[in-house]
Structure 1
Amino acid sequence: MFDAARSIVVDLVRRRPWGSSRLARTIDDAEESLSALRGWKRTVTMGLEEALAGGRWVSRDVRETWSQSAPLPSRHVTSLARNKKAGQEARELIAFTSGDLRALVHDTNERIRAQELVARRHFLNTIETQPLTDEQAAAVVTFDNRVQVIAAAGSGKTSVMVARAGYAIQRQLVPAERILMLAFNRDAAAELQCRVEERLEAAGIEAPGLTVATFHSFALSVIGSATGRKPRLARWLDAGGDIAMVCRLVDELRDQSPAFRDRWDAYRLLFARMSDDPSGGEPDSYDHSTRQTGYRTFKGETVRSQGERMIADFLFLNGVRYEYEAPYQHDVADADHSQYRPDFYYPDVDVYHEHWALDREGNPPPHFVGYTDSMQWKKAVHQQFGTTLLETTWASIIDQTGFGPLADDLTKAGLALDWNPDRPVPGATPVKHEDLARVMRSFMTHVKSNSLSRADLERRLEAAPRSVQRFRARMFLDLFWDIHNAWQARLAADDCIDFEDMLVQAATHLESGGIDMGYELVLVDEFQDASQARARLTKALVDQPHRYLLAVGDDWQSINRFAGADLSVMTSFAEWFGEGQTLRLQTTFRSPQSICDVASEFVAKNPRQLTKVVTSAHLGYGQAASLVRVRRFDEVSGAVARVLDDLAARVRTGEVTPGRSGMVEVDVLGRYRFDRDSLPRRTPPELKVTFRTVHGSKGLEADYVILPNVASGTYGFPSEVADDPVMSLAMAETDAYPFAEERRLFYVALTRARRHVTMIGVEGRESAFVAELLATKRLELSPLSTVDLSAPCPLCDQGVLVVRRRKADGRPFEGCSAFPRCRFTRSALSAASPMRLAASPGARRPN
């Protein structure tokens, strides 16, 4: 210890009755503490200097190692630091040790990044066929333990992955045999493998042992290495075979068990269309004669409530003839009551039926003012005239206890019930077997990916806030576990494994520490599609000190929730993988700025999407999107043909030039596979025309994109095939924003285009997405349309105003195309306003 400090300590001892031995211990303690502080400071400062000199990023794990080893000053050093004359070094050491190490490392890394961008410029300019942008280059040299890159569509995320691997090898940060690149399907993995081999070879970088794999193939290798027996994937899982297998298992269960058959049919036909909202959810029908908005039944009428619809459909499927809200046979109208109309009347046996809106405690909804008095009056009417009244309640129908007694009462009244789940339906479309099987398979994917047990689902069910969901979900879960058990039995009988079990088992082996695959750098593509099982597997791979993860994805393109994707893995990256860097690729090389603006504004309406400001690398702005509007659905194919013919004519005149492939590429993107029918039999030879589904177009691009069925309806775009509310039991979180995933899917469709997007719409059946783009003036009418453009609905912004005629007198009026959800109307004469948009003769064609 230096003399001044020693003299201070001695002086302190003299003023206290300490012996010489205590003085020695005090001096030794102070010297030891100061030495530790000096050593730690030297370690950190030298480490930072060496990192800066060598251009080596100071990783999170290195910083945490330093932080955890930081010594605490002893109390004697703390006392010494208070002395203004002799405590300067102690103060400086204490200040350094207790200072903001994070900020110090951050500042050093910023200098290293700037330095590397200059020093590695040749590499960064040549590793791909085009020089990396500043954003891409920064993502490559930011060599921290955890880096998430949020990449806009067409921003070159694959270039970042390839360059990152090359950088790690060239800079000797990680050897090639310890680098793993994970893709989500075989095509993506094959493309990535080809790309990395080609570009590293061109750069003169040898990469023996670098592994590119799909998550599933890699998971198989993990299980094989851990157990000595590599499992076999079930052959029937590919190309929709999993849905077909669920259908097959359901057929077998229905044949083997009458109880399962009855439960399956009851859920599919009566409960599957039920809203999760006890108040009824959104109406889907309108009765022009009664001007009543409500719910469409299998028979085709409009009833007032979900409960009434379930009863009406039950009666229809049993072949029971009924009349809905027919006038009571006696005139009972008085000063306080209008003529009585019971809910149901069975004319063959002269029996009435009231369905009371009562909960399990026998109470009506609080806002049903006077409901109890009305019930008493109706019952008194039947008693007065001696008419027979059957009764059911909302609670008994929802919890499934009411249909049995109703069937018994109808039988006693003299009606023969003939349950036929395959009875031809003239009204509302029943949920198909395949559609319910698809829901079951999606639910199973989430259950397995999230490692949920029966007990887990039971706990979630008990925590469900609404009784409607609980009773309905109970029925669903009983069916699900029967199907799940049959599925597992089929896997065991075939001595194979499915995708989800494969990922979960591989993750479990890695987490247990029984095996270490030895990869130090893991790069994951399309991270927005990660399931929790994939996240577990990824985390286990890098869950050791000084390992590196680069995850690249775009939350705006998360469209595979049905296959188990969990967007929260990306949006909660730090919670899964620990603190890390978040970088953005916001420059796209695909679409012009006009498409970037339209697509970005559209998808960002959902506040849960991560913020990005997407900028095009192309100078041209151009028209982003146009709408070809036709009168009827059977004109859609003709509209597609006109768009293709018009484009081909402009290719012949030289107005439109070939694209990268030497031809003008056109992708017709359908929301569903059956949209392929909109393609004409022959396409112009000047064009390369390809049909894909929007899901299948992910990662691809074309010069022009045509969306052939941008209409409202169950199978429109957005699809109105609603997720079953019970799905929330198996998912980590749900997104309540309307059409959240459909909105992202539409964004994917828009951003496949290098030049222009054309949508085909049908008058009066406008998609909510089209209406939104019209309301924000982001969509123009194509001169190829056969119908003028209509004004957006001023009330809901989810439809446009279309001309209709009143049934009573034939007079025209304008109503919202989103009817019956929106019931806005106005006189057709008031349509002469600036909101009325028509195609001008000189409307521009897309370039």
Structure 2
Amino acid sequence: MNTFEIRNNWLTNLLFGHPPSILTLHSKGLQISDGKKKVILPFSRMSSLPQIRRRLFWSHLSVSTAKKSYLYKGFSVSQLRQFSLALNDALKSHVQPLLQAEYKEAKQLKTEIRNFLDASAYRRHSQGRALITRCRQLVAKTSVPLREHFATSAHLSAIKSLADFVATAEEKRKRANAKFLRQELQRCQSFFDQLERNPLTAAQRRACVISEDNNLVLAGAGTGKTSTMTGRAGYLLMSGQTQPAQILMLAYARKAAEEMQERQDKCLRPLLQQSTPVIKTFHALGLEIIGKVEGKWPVITPFAENNTAYLQFIEDVIRHLMSDPAYKKKLNQFCAASGYQKPVADVARLMADFLMLFKQSRQTFKALTSAVKKQADTARFSLFLSIFEPVLNAYEQHLAEKNEIDFTDMIVKATGYVESGRYFSPYQHILVDEFQDISQERALLIKALLAQREAAVLFAVGDDWQSIYRFTGSDIRLTREFDALFGATTTTALDTTFRFNNKIGEVASAFVLKNPEQMTKTINAVSVVPDPAIHLIRTSATESGLHQALNRIQQEASEQQTERKTTVAVLARFNFLFGHDNPVMQRQQMGEKYPQLEIELMSVHASKGKEADYVIILGMNKGKYGFPSQKATDPILEFLLPGKETFPDAEERRLFYVALTRARHRVYLISDPRDESPFITELIEQKYPICT
């Protein structure tokens, strides 16, 4: 039986219609009864001290929670005063142990905040947010009135410190990180000085040391992205933050991975005296994940690395299907609607590209069919899908019979294993090269790996100015909207190029930045020359223009009198512009005519990642196979490709930037004045610093 109980006055109930109330001091809180039903208002819900509201002959009791206030009316003044005192004492007995625990936690948090801001390490945004969340939760744990009434001054001071941190945490974190960077760059100066043949630049060093949750390094052409990747891995190991097995370094092509591995080992092993991280391709990572989950590595179809064989398989399937008159009729209808001159070959090329893009999209065929109904040319698209589905089924059946998978299957399957938890990532740091070339499917794999480890850090190196592979599924938005996809990000732009001179850079940067969607950065050249380094040769005969340029280069090479041959990259938007002769034979013939020159012929896409003393760009004309190419992408492929940019010729402009920035010394543009490229027209009319 509870020992303290009061009832409101029956007369006030009669005169003023107050409901009958019996208030009882219960071990768990305040018990309220109307004589029939009993309800307990727990101490844990009370947000302030109960208050007495005095009237002339009686009093009311007001009790508040965080969401509502309750008023119990018509009690004797003296009785309610005694009851209120007892209720307050009981509330105090309930609150004080909680406040003691709160104060203990507040002191612990103050220590953690002090350590967080001590500039002994780079503090990430997620670490700050975690502290802010804990501070907010603790500050909100006890109501302000109860804390102010019962807590000690030291306790109140600690809570105020937490509230102050919440209000200024980001500013304080930035100041602490700035101090850390100054100290750390000084401490690691010798390491960064000795890492490569030339000391790393200030921007490269900052990129290596900054360790935000997500780090985007914008590495313009020739600014030393490989050195920065190597420097980052080396810094993490040298500073004891991780072990080689906890670093995942990703490159896009096997050759690039091998070259980067060789360079990394050469740079780091003498300095660190330990093993270095293994640099993998995305495909090698996919094999690793699937192999660990399934107990054996999957077999990759030969089609994955032999596009000719893959295309031939699609053609063979189509020819086989054409033995069915109904299929043949639909295929002919599609070819007629598309204006195809070579039905099987043209359709096979379209299907081969569409098949891979479709698999990358991770859609079901049913979902694809439904989505097609919303397209403008529904009839042609639906007709295509009707002839595509049997080819897709034949391809998948072939892989199943051979017990093989393709590269797309591998990435999608690996991602599924990570997302489901069947594979757990050992990687604390993920470093990705050429990030501007990433596709949605590969980005999903990276996100899945990061999500498995709370403190995992992403370090992505790329350049949106050099994003030129949309046709394969690469999505430039993943670079431009990096923080929206991955979260809190620090972006560092490498600002010094060791490749091209200032005059090439002046033209190339201004040209690519005409598109306001490109990320703005300034690139300074180590090599400074006084005169324009881009030359326009106008001629109706491409071969004549090529030899004019080569003669000028040979003359310059003779004047320089160097032992090594002068390298020349002859670039074209399309390979067929080099003619039908064997490229090796062409190179031999030019080598005989220009013995001081080492000449290489390649498409602009193939030149990515390469460099030469001089660059000659052929076919600077307008039209379908000009530069920019006006060759339209089939709407059927556009449906599955990343969103198209609104700025005219956006990717072609970046491709031209890539072509220009392969050169160390000089670029020659060969253009037919009767059919001049709009890029040439822009360079002239807008008075870019070039020689015409």
TM-score (norm 1): 0.67
Kindly indicate whether residue 486 of structure 2 is the aligned counterpart of residue 577 of structure 1: yes
Kindly indicate whether residue 405 of structure 2 is the aligned counterpart of residue 456 of structure 1: no
Work out whether residues 627 and 781 of structure 1, in 8 Å CA contact, stay in contact via their aligned partners in 2.
yes
Residue 726 of structure 1 corresponds to: 636
Kindly indicate whether residue 130 of structure 2 is the aligned counterpart of residue 65 of structure 1: yes
SS at match of 1:98: helix
Superposed counterparts of 1:421-460, under 5 Å: 430=341, 434=345, 436-460=347-371
Picking from 664, 671, 674, the partner of 1:764 is: 674
Residue 217 of structure 1 corresponds to: 284
State the Cα distance separating 1:746 from its structure 2 match: 1.2
Q: Between the two proteins, what is the percent identity of the paired residues?
A: 30
Picking from 268, 281, 293, the partner of 2:335 is: 268
Structural RMSD (CA): 2.9
Q: Structure 1 unaligned segments of length 5 or more: list them.
A: 1-7, 273-420, 422-429, 783-847
Q: Distance in 2 between matches of 1:780 and 1:91?
A: 65
Residue 258 of structure 2 corresponds to: 190
SS at match of 1:100: helix
After superposition, what is the alpha-carbon deviation per residue over 1:795-828, rounded to whole angstroms, capped at 9, x for unaligned?
A: xxxxxxxxxxxxxxxxxxxxxxxxxxxxxxxxxx
Q: Distance in 1 between matches of 2:288 and 2:455?
A: 23
Residue 495 of structure 2 corresponds to: 586
Work out whether residues 249 and 486 of structure 1, in 8 Å CA contact, stay in contact via their aligned partners in 2.
no
Kindly indicate whether residue 557 of structure 2 is the aligned counterpart of residue 651 of structure 1: yes
Superposed counterparts of 1:801-820, under 5 Å: none
Work out whether residues 34 and 77 of structure 1, in 8 Å CA contact, stay in contact via their aligned partners in 2.
no
After superposition, what is the alpha-carbon deviation per residue over 1:51-85, rounded to whole angstroms, capped at 9, x for unaligned?
A: x2xx4211234323323333234445455559999
Picking from 232, 236, 241, the partner of 1:173 is: 241
Work out whether residues 503 and 528 of structure 2, in 8 Å CA contact, stay in contact via their aligned partners in 1.
no
Work out whether residues 253 and 260 of structure 1, in 8 Å CA contact, stay in contact via their aligned partners in 2.
no
State the Cα distance separating 1:192 from its structure 2 match: 0.8
Work out whether residues 706 and 759 of structure 1, in 8 Å CA contact, stay in contact via their aligned partners in 2.
yes
Picking from 432, 435, 448, the partner of 1:527 is: 435
Kindly indicate whether residue 614 of structure 2 is the aligned counterpart of residue 675 of structure 1: no
Kindly indicate whether residue 583 of structure 2 is the aligned counterpart of residue 514 of structure 1: no
Residue 798 of structure 1 corresponds to: none
State the Cα distance separating 1:498 from its structure 2 match: 1.1
Work out whether residues 318 and 348 of structure 2, in 8 Å CA contact, stay in contact via their aligned partners in 1.
no
Work out whether residues 473 and 642 of structure 2, in 8 Å CA contact, stay in contact via their aligned partners in 1.
no
Q: Distance in 2 between matches of 1:215 and 1:702?
A: 28
Q: Structure 2 unaligned segments of length 5 or more: list them.
A: 1-47, 53-80
Superposed counterparts of 1:701-780, under 5 Å: 701-778=611-688, 780=690
Structure having the larger proportion of residues in helix: 2
Kindly indicate whether residue 94 of structure 2 is the aligned counterpart of residue 25 of structure 1: yes
State the Cα distance separating 1:495 from its structure 2 match: 2.4
After superposition, what is the alpha-carbon deviation per residue over 1:540-590, rounded to whole angstroms, capped at 9, x for unaligned?
A: 222221112111111111111222212222222223322222221132111
Relative distance call for 1:150 and 1:431 in structure 2 (3 A) is farther
Relative distance call for 1:644 and 1:434 in structure 2 (3 A) is farther
Q: Distance in 2 between matches of 1:268 and 1:463?
A: 22
Residue 639 of structure 1 corresponds to: 545
Relative distance call for 1:218 and 1:718 in structure 2 (3 A) is same
The count of aligned residue pairs is 604
Relative distance call for 1:777 and 1:685 in structure 2 (3 A) is same
Q: Distance in 2 between matches of 1:180 and 1:202?
A: 21
Residue 628 of structure 1 corresponds to: 537
After superposition, what is the alpha-carbon deviation per residue over 1:57-115, rounded to whole angstroms, capped at 9, x for unaligned?
A: 11234323323333234445455559999596166235235323233222211211121
Work out whether residues 146 and 579 of structure 1, in 8 Å CA contact, stay in contact via their aligned partners in 2.
yes
Work out whether residues 139 and 159 of structure 2, in 8 Å CA contact, stay in contact via their aligned partners in 1.
no
Residue 114 of structure 2 corresponds to: 45
Kindly indicate whether residue 188 of structure 2 is the aligned counterpart of residue 120 of structure 1: yes
After superposition, what is the alpha-carbon deviation per residue over 1:710-733, rounded to whole angstroms, capped at 9, x for unaligned?
A: 112222212222111233322342
After superposition, what is the alpha-carbon deviation per residue over 1:724-767, rounded to whole angstroms, capped at 9, x for unaligned?
A: 12333223422232222222111111111111111111122111
Superposed counterparts of 1:258-337, under 5 Å: 258-271=325-338
Relative distance call for 1:500 and 1:79 in structure 2 (3 A) is same
After superposition, what is the alpha-carbon deviation per residue over 1:813-844, rounded to whole angstroms, capped at 9, x for unaligned?
A: xxxxxxxxxxxxxxxxxxxxxxxxxxxxxxxx
State the Cα distance separating 1:18 from its structure 2 match: 3.5
Relative distance call for 1:569 and 1:63 in structure 2 (3 A) is same
Residue 413 of structure 2 corresponds to: 505
SS at match of 2:177: helix
Q: Distance in 2 between matches of 1:105 and 1:554?
A: 28
Relative distance call for 1:592 and 1:517 in structure 2 (3 A) is same
* Code of the aligned partner of 2:215: V
Relative distance call for 1:735 and 1:546 in structure 2 (3 A) is same
After superposition, what is the alpha-carbon deviation per residue over 1:525-544, rounded to whole angstroms, capped at 9, x for unaligned?
A: 00111111211221222222
SS at match of 1:653: helix
After superposition, what is the alpha-carbon deviation per residue over 1:635-694, rounded to whole angstroms, capped at 9, x for unaligned?
A: 21122122112221232233xx64xx9221100012122223395733301111111111
Work out whether residues 41 and 96 of structure 1, in 8 Å CA contact, stay in contact via their aligned partners in 2.
no
Work out whether residues 315 and 348 of structure 2, in 8 Å CA contact, stay in contact via their aligned partners in 1.
no
SS at match of 2:614: strand
Residue 40 of structure 2 corresponds to: none
SS at match of 1:17: helix
State the Cα distance separating 1:485 from its structure 2 match: 1.9
Superposed counterparts of 1:329-478, under 5 Å: 430=341, 434=345, 436-464=347-375, 466=376, 469-478=377-386
Picking from 470, 484, 496, the partner of 1:561 is: 470
Deviates more, 1:140-149 or 1:698-707: 140-149
State the Cα distance separating 1:148 from its structure 2 match: 1.1
Relative distance call for 1:721 and 1:82 in structure 2 (3 A) is farther
Kindly indicate whether residue 312 of structure 2 is the aligned counterpart of residue 240 of structure 1: no
Picking from 561, 566, 578, the partner of 1:664 is: 566
Deviates more, 1:548-557 or 1:432-441: 432-441
State the Cα distance separating 1:197 from its structure 2 match: 0.6
* Code of the aligned partner of 1:753: A
